Amino acid sequence: MVDVAGIFLGAVGPTVAIAAIGYLLSVTRGVDPRPLNTVVVYVFAPALVFHSLAVTELGSTTLVRLTVGIVAFTLAMWAVAEAFGRVVGETEPILSALVLVAIFSNAGNLGIPVSDFAFGDVGRQTAVVFLSVQSVLVYTVGVYAASRSGGEAGAVGVRRVFALPLVYAVLAALGARALDVVPATGSAGMEALKLVGNASIPVMLLVLGIHLARTDTGAAVARSWSATALRLGIAPLVGLGVALALGFQNPTVARVFVLETAMPAAVTPVILVTEFAADTRSGGVTVPEYVSTCVLVTTLLSIPLLTLFIAVLQSGAVL
């Protein structure tokens, strides 16, 4: 019998506790998340990605299937979200914002630590791959959706993907593996990268808590139900379908893949719509307010849902 309480205390609870500390820091000390976020994006996350991919036990076939699966999931969720949004009567600019919330999960701040706590090293390595591929998609198709919500039909800002150190960390790690020049695991350089990469997990959670504390929900809560249903209800089902279709040989990889698709809404889209649609309103709600509210609502609701979802995945009932 699956120990649900044990799963919460061992996997979800620690992440909630660290994020709560970030929330309290923001409320009591007014901590600005931007410097921490910069350190994560330009130092911690690239180190985590390089070290994890360089020493991963995941085979090349698995890495390719993960990449294909993440892209397939993103495109499938875009189609589902676009259709669902139109059926429930959403129009631009909220329609594109709803798509952003639906297709991008919090694979970094929350996904990596939860996967690590729930499924160990394989969980962490799989989550890192998910984050790496999704980061490229965020700054390509995500930028397109954000610019569309702001009234522009172009992929303005896509070049930002080439400014992300994380992208080059992925290329460097894969190149080192292909050329068989990965430094020894116990070498000083790799140990330093591991140390820096490990620091990214608690800092990501602190940043998440700080962002949530700074979220002004207002009237956007009532409009967030459709995006919440897509992110927490439909997305895991689509992720499960993709995982079954790809037929991952390692069941743990398959389970973590589905778990990543079930995460709450990502924080990065808030940054995108703030730049491309900051002043765009619909029904008295700005696009950034709408997306920020969806992040907050899905994150709070995900705490019990992820606990139950991990219990189902660990039981082997679906994969």
289: which 2 tokens? 């307010």
Instruction: Give the C-alpha separation, 266 to 138, whole Å.
Output: 10
Q: Determine, yes or no, domain membership for 56.
A: yes
Q: Tell me the whole-structure pTM to 2 decimals.
A: 0.87
* 33 burial type by CB count under 10 A (0-12 exposed, 13-18 middle, 19+ buried): buried
Which of 51, 263, 306 has its CA nearest to residue 176?
51
Q: Are 305 and 264 in contact (CB under 8 A)?
A: no
Which amino acid appears at position 271 of this protein? I
Whole-number pLDDT of residue 2 = 60
**CATH at 195:** 1.20.1530.20
Whole-number pLDDT of residue 238 = 98
234: which 2 tokens? 């439909």
Whole-number pLDDT of residue 138 = 87
* Residue 23 to residues 205, 210, 296, 314, Cα–Cα distance (Å): 10, 5, 12, 30
Whole-number pLDDT of residue 262 = 97
Whole-number pLDDT of residue 246 = 95
Identify the segments of the chain with pLDDT beneath 70. Answer: 1-2, 150-161, 216-217, 219
Q: Give the range of the structural domain holding residue 266, as residue numbers without chain letter.
A: 4-314
Q: DSSP readout, 264-277? A: -B-SHHHHHHHHHS
Q: Determine, yes or no, domain membership for 319.
A: no
* Residue 272 to residues 89, 93, 101, 139, Cα–Cα distance (Å): 24, 13, 12, 9
Neighbours of 142 (CB within 10 A): 28
Query: Alpha helix (H) ranges present in 155-230?
Result: 165-178, 188-213, 225-229
Which of 12, 8, 255 has its CA nearest to residue 110?
12
Q: Determine, yes or no, domain membership for 71.
A: yes
* 160 burial type by CB count under 10 A (0-12 exposed, 13-18 middle, 19+ buried): middle
Whole-number pLDDT of residue 153 = 53
110: which 2 tokens? 């929350």
Whole-number pLDDT of residue 160 = 64
> Is the sign of the CA dihedral 148, 294, 263, 73 positive or negative?
negative
Local structure of residue 286 (DSSP, 8 states) = E
Whole-number pLDDT of residue 266 = 92
Query: Alpha helix (H) ranges present in the chain?
Result: 4-7, 13-29, 33-39, 45-55, 60-87, 94-103, 112-137, 143-149, 165-178, 188-213, 225-229, 235-246, 251-261, 268-276, 287-315
In 3-state terms, what secondary structure has residue 285?
A: strand
Q: What's the structural domain count of the chain?
A: 1
Which amino acid appears at position 313 of this protein? L
